[in-house]
């Protein structure tokens, strides 16, 4: 038996931005991992000295995938500076647009970016469900793939109606939103959402949202899977059957620590309930033990990142973005910083939301299995089932409260500091701003992929997906499919973690290897 | 609506902002009836709804490797699709993916003519003027002439 260690690169096309993952494989098992953002992130420095409101225009343009999420974080940071709370109807409109973007991302990522690998005949030709996987997920041809593109396209209508335009809506402003919705527009949103819900229930769940919400334990999940052919043939059912047979519930463990900033503030009067004023609760979880979230415990460590700062770790309200592509050889290896919560590495994303929010199904599964690829992806596949009912309720409430306030006047942005912390599709997103003389004195952004794709910190603790890769078996080092699954279960998106672009991108010259 | 000019790119990145510089120039002009100018940004697959129910679409974007630096190049739909190097969707799925998948998911009327006005590599004032003029000329042609 060989004892040699082989270092290989994990091919990760389909991760926007510049991401390289290298792993050491010893006796067919990954023994170490390094995740590297390969382009300089200088986005925050563009903001310094600009007008107080400029974050509303600049930050949504960081990313074409989650522009609304950045807009929301930017406006919530300014709300915090002004101390003005958006009126109920404004909050409903903001939430609805953000939720539409999140659901679109969940459905697309699941089918077009994760389950598409099930159609890889080289990797899964001998899998018992290989043929069906190919029919469903083959790129540009799979029945599920094409349906997902069509159906998620319709969700954009909600954003465009609420935002008044698409792309590049700027309808969120400090104090509320720029306009209210006509009754006909609310009805149009409801029609689009009801149509999407019906499709999601039939295609993704094979049952109603209510039936899925009754699945609250690992035993319930098995019972649900066996209950009907519709459940087994749904995307969730097929995912479970395929992924388990492929052993994906046995890889991708990680730190077993989770962070959610919480998200979607509740209107003061609403039939939708949540935790501490938000639909999605905030917290830090060590396994299934959930503790309250303290934003002061966030620090950015640059020990292994190509940046320099006065202290090894600094809170984002003070941390700067000073590139330093030098230092002790080999210690620094990424343009992504290492955010830490209470000085520990954490993962964020849909699974973290489920755990922090005390979802009984995911608590039970986590206790039984520990974190793994299947759990992360199952959380993403089923998150729309949590969001859709609240969206429909808020649309109904917008209709019932038509004519209500949508804006509280904000004439100037005072000196001060604020933060916009919420859950983007990929996890915890934060914008920190300091205003001096109506200008931006300091701006800092920590994206979900910065949390999940961070390099090591001062204590040499690995980032979330670096750690999740440890122990993963690699059958063929030339095609490390298993490692790709692990990283992709975090839905990496480095365009806003590392703000740049590679040559030829817009003509489709994806330079990283395909074949996963 | 007969034609849409969709300018794409990223204003925050110097090497990818040419399409949006053209957008700014076109925005400052009076558009003829039936021509709409869109800031497409980085919307990628989310541009699909803008390709339905319109006769002609003219994209404007930075390109690399088609002609000399600072020059403007005109590509048709097949040439754009020919640049597709991978069949997988990703966060950075660009025009080749968008146009490849369009016929399979289009629920309205397909555009009869799709072109890309490409600004090679850099964003010079002369290139922007040329690209804006070419885009407008393409957008206002009679459909039958394409």
Q: Measured on CA atoms in the order A160, A166, A167, A169, is the torsion positive or negative? A: negative
Number of neighbours of residue A61 by Cβ within 10 angstroms: 21
On the question of pLDDT at A15 being above 90, the answer is no
B11: nearest CA in chain A? Answer: A61
Predicted local confidence at residue A270, as pLDDT: 97
Q: HEC profile for A129-185?
A: CHHHHHHHHCCCCCHHHHHHHHHHHHHHHHHHHHHCCCCCCCCEECCEECCCCCHHH
Contact B41 A167 (CB under 8 A): yes
* Residue indicated by tokens 């066996």: A226
Give the mean model confidence (pLDDT) for residues A446-455. 95
On whether the CB atoms of residues A394 and A272 are closer than 8 A, the answer is: yes
Contact A13 B84 (CB under 8 A): no
Nearest neighbour of B87 by CB, restricted to A139, A504, A509: A139
Distance, first Cα to last Cα, chain B: 17
On the question of pLDDT at A500 being above 50, the answer is no
Which of A341, A204, A209, A210 lies closest to A283, judged by CA? Answer: A341
Which one of B77, B78, B89, B98 makes the best mutation probe of the A interface by having the most chain A beta carbons within 10 Å?
Answer: B89
Structure tokens at B123: 């964003």
Number of neighbours of residue B68 by Cβ within 10 angstroms: 8
User: Is B67 an 8 Å CB contact of chain A?
Assistant: no
User: Is A402 an 8 Å CB contact of chain B?
Assistant: no
Which of A17, A36, A28, A39 lies closest to A483, judged by CA? Answer: A28
Domains of chain A: 5-507 (1.10.645.10)
Nearest neighbour of A510 by CB, restricted to B38, B86, B107: B86
User: Is B33 an 8 Å CB contact of chain A?
Assistant: no
Q: Which residues pair with A453 in a beta bridge?
A: none
Number of neighbours of residue A4 by Cβ within 10 angstroms: 7
Nearest neighbour of A504 by CB, restricted to B64, B97, B104: B64
Main-chain dihedrals φ then ψ at residue A94, nearest 5 degrees: -60, -50
Predicted local confidence at residue A312, as pLDDT: 80
A141: nearest CA in chain B? Answer: B104
Considering only residues A503 and A198, tell me which one the structure prediction assigns the higher pLDDT.
A198
Give the mean model confidence (pLDDT) for residues A215-233. 98
Pairing of strands B56-63, B3-8: parallel
Number of neighbours of residue A513 by Cβ within 10 angstroms: 13
Distance CA B30, CA B33 (A): 9
Number of neighbours of residue B109 by Cβ within 10 angstroms: 11
Domain residue spans of chain B: 3-145
- Cβ neighbours of B65 in A, within 8 Å: 504, 507
Condensed to tens digits (0 to 9), the pLDDT of residues B46-79 reads 899 999 989 999 999 988 888 888 899 999 999 9
Within the 167-206 window of chain A, which residues sit less than 8 Å (CB to CB) from chain B? 167-168
A119: nearest CA in chain B? Answer: B88
Give the mean model confidence (pLDDT) for residues A77-98. 98
Considering only residues A424 and A504, tell me which one the structure prediction assigns the higher pLDDT.
A424
pLDDT band at A512 (very low <50, low <70, confident <90, very high): very low
User: Is B88 an 8 Å CB contact of chain A?
Assistant: yes
Contact B8 A506 (CB under 8 A): yes
Contact A510 B63 (CB under 8 A): no
Distance CA A286, CA A280 (A): 18
The complex's ipTM works out to 0.87
pLDDT band at B10 (very low <50, low <70, confident <90, very high): confident
Considering only residues A18 and A462, tell me which one the structure prediction assigns the higher pLDDT.
A462
Predicted local confidence at residue B69, as pLDDT: 84
Contact A508 B97 (CB under 8 A): yes
Predicted local confidence at residue A19, as pLDDT: 83
Structure tokens at A239: 């995912």
User: Is A57 an 8 Å CB contact of chain B?
Assistant: no
pLDDT band at A12 (very low <50, low <70, confident <90, very high): low
Nearest neighbour of B101 by CB, restricted to A113, A140, A166: A140
On the question of pLDDT at B144 being above 50, the answer is no
Contact B43 A16 (CB under 8 A): no
On the question of pLDDT at A423 being above 50, the answer is yes
Structure tokens at B58: 């003219």
Predicted local confidence at residue B142, as pLDDT: 65
- Cβ neighbours of A449 in B, within 8 Å: none
On the question of pLDDT at A183 being above 60, the answer is yes
Pick the range with the lowest mean pLDDT from A87-101, A454-468, B85-99: B85-99
Helix axes A143-163, A183-199, angle to 10 degrees: 160
Nearest neighbour of B41 by CB, restricted to A13, A61, A510: A61
Tell me which architecture the domain covering B3-145 has in CATH: 3-Layer(aba) Sandwich (3.40)
On the question of pLDDT at A394 being above 70, the answer is yes
Structure tokens at A294: 């303290």
pLDDT band at A262 (very low <50, low <70, confident <90, very high): very high
Predicted local confidence at residue A508, as pLDDT: 27
Predicted local confidence at residue A66, as pLDDT: 81
Distance CA A462, CA A301 (A): 12
- Cβ neighbours of A506 in B, within 8 Å: 8-9, 16, 61-63, 94-95
Structure tokens at A469: 């890769």
Give the mean model confidence (pLDDT) for residues A498-503. 30
Main-chain dihedrals φ then ψ at residue A19, nearest 5 degrees: -125, 130
Residues constituting chain A: 516
């Amino acid at each position: 038996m060989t004892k040699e260690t082989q270092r290989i690169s994990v091919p990760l096309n389909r991760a926007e931005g510049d991401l390289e993952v290298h792993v050491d494989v010893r006796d067919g098992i990954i023994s170490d991992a390094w995740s590297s953002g390969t382009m300089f992130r200088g986005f925050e420095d563009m903001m310094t000295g600009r007008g107080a409101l400029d974050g509303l225009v600049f930050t949504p343009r960081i990313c074409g995938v989650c522009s609304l999420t950045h807009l929301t974080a930017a406006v919530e940071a300014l709300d915090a500076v002004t101390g003005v709370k958006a009126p109920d109807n404004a909050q409903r409109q903001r939430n609805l647009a953000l939720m539409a973007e999140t659901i679109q991302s969940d459905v697309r990522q699941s089918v077009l970016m994760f389950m598409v690998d099930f159609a890889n005949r080289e990797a899964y030709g001998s899998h018992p469900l290989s043929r069906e996987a190919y029919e469903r997920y083959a790129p540009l041809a799979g029945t599920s793939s094409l349906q997902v593109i069509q159906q998620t396209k319709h969700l954009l209508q909600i954003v465009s109606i609420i935002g008044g335009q698409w792309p590049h809506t700027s309808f969120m402003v400090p104090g509320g939103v720029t306009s209210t919705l006509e009754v006909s527009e609310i009805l149009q949103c409801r029609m689009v959402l009801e149509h999407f819900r019906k499709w999601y229930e039939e295609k993704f769940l094979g049952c109603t949202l209510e039936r899925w919400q009754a699945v609250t334990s690992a035993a319930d999940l098995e019972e649900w899977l066996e209950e009907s052919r519709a459940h087994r043939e749904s995307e969730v059912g097929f995912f479970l059957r395929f992924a388990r047979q492929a052993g994906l519930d046995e890889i991708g463990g990680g730190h077993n620590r989770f962070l959610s900033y919480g998200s979607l503030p509740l209107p003061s009067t609403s039939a939708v309930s949540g935790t501490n004023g938000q639909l999605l609760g905030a917290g830090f979880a060590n396994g299934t033990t959930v503790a309250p979230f303290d934003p002061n415990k966030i620090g950015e460590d640059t020990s292994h990142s190509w940046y320099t700062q006065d202290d090894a770790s600094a809170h984002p309200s003070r941390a700067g973005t000073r590139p330093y592509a030098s230092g002790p050889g080999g210690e620094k290896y990424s343009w992504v910083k290492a955010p830490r919560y209470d000085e520990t590495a954490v993962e964020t994303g849909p699974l973290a939301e489920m755990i922090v929010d005390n979802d009984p199904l995911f608590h039970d599964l986590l206790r039984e299995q520990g974190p793994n690829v299947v759990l992360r992806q199952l959380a993403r596949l089923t998150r729309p089932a949590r969001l859709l009912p609240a969206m429909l309720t808020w649309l109904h409430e917008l209709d019932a409260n038509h004519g209500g306030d949508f804006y509280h006047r904000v004439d100037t942005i005072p000196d001060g500091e604020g933060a916009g912390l919420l859950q983007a599709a990929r996890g915890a997103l934060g914008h920190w701003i300091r205003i001096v003389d109506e200008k931006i004195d300091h701006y800092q952004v920590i994206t979900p992929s910065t949390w999940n794709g961070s390099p090591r910190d001062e204590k040499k603790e690995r980032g979330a997906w670096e750690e999740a890769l440890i122990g993963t078996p690699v059958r063929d080092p030339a095609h490390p499919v298993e490692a790709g699954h692990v990283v992709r279960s975090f839905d990496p998106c480095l365009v806003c973690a590392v703000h740049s672009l590679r040559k030829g991108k817009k003509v489709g010259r994806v330079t990283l290897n395909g074949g996963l | 609506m007969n034609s849409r000019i969709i300018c794409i790119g990223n204003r925050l990145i110097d090497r990818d902002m040419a399409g949006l510089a053209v957008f700014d120039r076109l925005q400052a002009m009076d558009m003829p009836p039936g021509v709409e100018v869109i800031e497409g940004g980085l919307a990628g697959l989310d541009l699909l709804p803008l390709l339905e129910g319109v006769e002609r679409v003219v994209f404007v974007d930075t390109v690399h490797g088609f002609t000399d630096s600072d020059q403007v190049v005109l590509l048709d739909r097949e040439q754009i699709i020919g640049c597709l190097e991978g069949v997988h969707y990703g966060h950075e799925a660009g025009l080749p993916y968008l146009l490849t998948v369009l016929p399979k998911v289009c629920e309205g009327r397909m555009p009869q003519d799709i072109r890309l006005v490409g600004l090679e590599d850099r964003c010079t004032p002369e290139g922007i003027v040329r690209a804006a003029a070419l885009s407008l000329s393409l957008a206002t042609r009679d459909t039958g002439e394409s």
